[in-house]
């Protein structure tokens, strides 16, 4: 009788939850560091820092949790990762960086973290340029900010141009000018391009602008007042009048702003208001003794999160990629204030104070920010409630399984097929998510001009090919994550084209609805197309109908705006950009010599050779380019 082979040894069960954490603790050092709790599918659940990794992590293994949320987090943990650091301050900075990049589910998370615009005085040119800037400081120059919005920057730039007459034109335009531009005519520029002001005097104006933006406004105004009085005494009344207008421009900044603190030169003011599991942090920026605007943030929080924890997490993530002022005023003292201030000082290279004022002007600034935070959160909660009802109505109207969390709406824009673009907007429970909008330049060379079906196919193919790529890479929360509902501006033909693409890509499980305008394109008579069903209309004056009209109109606005921008860029494109060997320097020299691209096109080879940097082969190439037809 043959015996059956012995069964393989039973594999030891894989540890998870508190048991896994207890096992990890055995190997942890008593040193500062950062830990990550990881769930199924390598999802990062939580990132935390500790003065002692061993003492901090063992608390999770002991099972004594303050909230059910922490208990759930521990139960979902399938693995952990650790990084030791030299100090607890280093651990805090690393924790902040990891939270922003990994976006763990159980951490307080700063959302909608867009970069702030700034003003830069470019120092790369003999006549420095004044301009708006956003992003990394890659340009050599003096940076001033942050400003809360592009509107705040534009207002200040407008004032600075009136007061200091600094140029805002690009270097290529500056080099090609032969006479003053319109900005000089309306007294917004001193025209250094044509020598109406010497470079020495112009740089004096630049220094005055820099001093004003650094907070020395009184000294600047006094200097200008003395110059005005001297000009008046010398009977130079026209020059005195110009100085008077410049002083008035500077005074207008103080008159336009609601808050101009006398005791605060440079500070950021934060006020937190939390209610019903939601929170708002209102931020005000004060630089050079001026209010440079404010912005409301709505971080992702849980009902169990305490205000000091929310404030500490918010401040850390907020300043991860922004310049830190010397004073931070708050209405709630953040957890581990001293450690946070030490980390900011290490990052900023100077002492940073985090203060909770109790009286005086600083306290008034914080109270004003808190009032704005309460009002902003109240508006958001009211909007969220209305938005939830609308999404429930969309779910019922289209027979969806659940209210959609992500709606994508598509539209195309072109003129007889030229400068064709596709636009995608995104909406959800929090309204329009403009950071998720995307444009698609139509690239297909085999499309018939004006082929809307072909354009829509190309847009959807590129969009969902990206979705498949992201899902295969495990990126389920990126900008191109899977939508719950797709709205197409069009009828049955558009729907058929979309379904064909989605079937080819294997993503035909997403709900698709076509929105076609009614007879005579009347709003309110839209027809809705769902695959496999006859078209239908919604009740006139229905809130859901108005909501769907808003979505369609926003997609239309975005697509048309993108198309117009592309068309404008094409109109401004210089033919010299298409000539091989003509870079920015030679282009500038050619425009300076001949005044315009048309002037270059009329030049002979001998004339072209007289321009610095133009060799004989290049002169022949330029000459031939304009005569190739």
| Residues in a beta bridge with 49 | 34
pTM metric for this prediction: 0.66
Check if the beta carbon of residue 479 is closer than 8 Å to that of residue 469. Answer: no
What mean pLDDT do residues 190-217 have? 85
pLDDT of residue 449: 63
User: DSSP code of 144?
Assistant: E
What mean pLDDT do residues 499-512 have? 86
Whole-angstrom Cα distance, residue 442 to residue 457? 10
Whole-angstrom Cα distance, residue 191 to residue 172? 15
Whole-angstrom Cα distance, residue 272 to residue 309? 11
Q: Is the pLDDT of residue 243 over 90?
A: no
Q: Which residue ranges form the domains of the chain, and what is each CATH number?
A: 17-102 (3.40.1440.10), 118-256 (no CATH), 267-379 (3.30.420.340), 407-570 (3.30.420.340), 575-625 (1.10.150.20)
One DSSP character per residue, 241-299 reads: HHHHHHHHHHHHHHHH-S---SS-SSEEEEEEEEETTEEEEEEEEEETTEEEEEEEE--
What mean pLDDT do residues 410-438 have? 81
Percent of the chain with pLDDT over 90: 23
Query: Closest Cα to residue 279, out of 380, 377, 378?
Result: 377
What mean pLDDT do residues 563-583 have? 71
pLDDT of residue 254: 53
Query: Coil, helix or strand for 67?
Result: coil
Phi, psi of 181 (to 5 degrees): -90, -175
Most confident of 233-247, 252-266, 614-628: 614-628
What does the block give as tokens for 151? 């509107």
Query: Coil, helix or strand for 413?
Result: strand
262 burial via Cβ count (<10 Å: 0-12, 13-18, 19+)? exposed
Q: Is the pLDDT of residue 256 over 50?
A: no
Check if the beta carbon of residue 413 is closer than 8 Å to that of residue 421. Answer: yes
* Range from 141-145, 479-483, 519-523, 620-624 carrying the lowest mean pLDDT: 519-523
Query: Closest Cα to residue 407, out of 511, 509, 485?
Result: 485
Neighbours of 475 (CB within 10 A): 13
pLDDT tens column, 276-314: 888 999 999 888 777 888 889 999 998 888 999 999 999
Phi, psi of 102 (to 5 degrees): -95, -25
What mean pLDDT do residues 154-166 have? 82
């Amino acid at each position: 009788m043959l015996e059956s082979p012995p069964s393989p040894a039973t594999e030891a069960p894989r540890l998870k939850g508190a048991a896994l954490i207890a096992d990890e603790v055995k190997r942890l050092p008593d040193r500062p560091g950062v830990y990550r709790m990881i769930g199924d599918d390598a999802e990062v659940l939580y990132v935390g820092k500790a003065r002692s990794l061993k003492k901090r992590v063992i608390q999770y293994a002991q099972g004594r949790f303050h909230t059910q949320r922490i208990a759930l987090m521990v139960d979902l943990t399938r693995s952990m990762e650790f990084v030791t650091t030299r100090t607890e301050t280093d651990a805090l900075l690393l924790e902040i960086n990891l939270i922003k990049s990994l976006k763990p589910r159980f951490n307080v998370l700063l959302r909608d973290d867009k970069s702030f615009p700034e003003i830069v005085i470019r120092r790369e040119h003999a006549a420095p340029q004044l301009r708006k800037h956003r992003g990394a400081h890659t340009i050599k120059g003096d940076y001033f900010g942050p400003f809360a919005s592009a509107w705040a920057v534009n207002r200040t730039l407008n004032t600075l141009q009136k007061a200091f007459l600094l140029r805002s034109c690009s270097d290529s335009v500056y080099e090609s000018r032969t006479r003053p531009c319109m900005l000089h005519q309306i007294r917004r520029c001193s025209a250094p391009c044509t020598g109406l002001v010497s470079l020495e005097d112009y740089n004096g104006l630049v220094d005055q602008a820099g001093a004003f933006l650094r907070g020395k406004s009184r000294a600047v105004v006094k200097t200008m007042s003395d110059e005005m009085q001297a000009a008046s005494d010398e009977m130079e009344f026209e020059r005195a009048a110009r100085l008077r207008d410049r002083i008035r421009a500077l005074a207008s900044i103080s008159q336009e702003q609601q808050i101009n603190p006398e005791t605060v030169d440079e500070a950021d003011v934060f006020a937190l208001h939390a209610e019903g599991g939601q929170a708002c942090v209102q931020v005000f920026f004060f630089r050079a003794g001026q209010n440079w605007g404010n912005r409301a943030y709505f971080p992702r929080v849980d009902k169990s999160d305490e205000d000091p924890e929310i404030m500490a997490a918010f401040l850390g993530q907020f300043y991860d990629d922004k310049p830190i002022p010397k004073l931070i005023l708050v209405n709630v003292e953040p957890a581990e204030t001293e450690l946070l201030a030490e980390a900011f000082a290490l990052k900023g290279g100077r002492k940073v104070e985090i203060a909770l004022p109790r009286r005086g002007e600083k306290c008034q600034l914080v109270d004003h920010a808190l009032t704005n935070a309460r009002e902003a959160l109240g508006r958001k909660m009211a909007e969220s409630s209305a938005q939830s009802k609308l999404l429930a109505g969309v779910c019922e109207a289209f027979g969806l399984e659940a209210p959609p969390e992500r709606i994508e709406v598509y539209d195309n824009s072109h003129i007889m097929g030229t400068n064709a673009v596709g636009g995608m907007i995104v909406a959800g429970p929090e309204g329009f998510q403009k950071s998720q909008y995307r444009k698609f330049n139509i690239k297909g060379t085999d499309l018939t001009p004006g082929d809307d079906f072909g354009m829509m196919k190309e847009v959807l193919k590129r969009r969902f090919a990206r979705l498949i790529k992201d899902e295969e890479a495990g990126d389920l929360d990126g900008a191109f994550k899977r939508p719950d509902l797709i709205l197409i501006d069009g009828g049955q033909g558009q729907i058929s084209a979309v379904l064909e693409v989605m079937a080819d890509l294997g993503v035909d499980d997403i709900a698709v609805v076509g929105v076609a305008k009614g007879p005579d394109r009347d709003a309110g008579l839209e027809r809705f197309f769902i695959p496999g069903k006859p078209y239908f209309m919604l009740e006139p004056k229905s809130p859901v109908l108005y909501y769907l009209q808003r979505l369609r109109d926003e997609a239309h606005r975005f697509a048309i705006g993108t198309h117009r921008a592309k068309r404008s860029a094409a109109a401004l494109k210089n033919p010299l950009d298409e000539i091989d060997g003509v870079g920015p320097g030679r282009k500038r020299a050619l425009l300076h010599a001949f005044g315009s691209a048309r002037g270059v096109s009329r030049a002979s080879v001998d004339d072209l050779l007289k321009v610095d940097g133009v060799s004989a082969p290049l002169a022949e190439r330029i000459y031939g380019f304009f005569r190739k037809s």
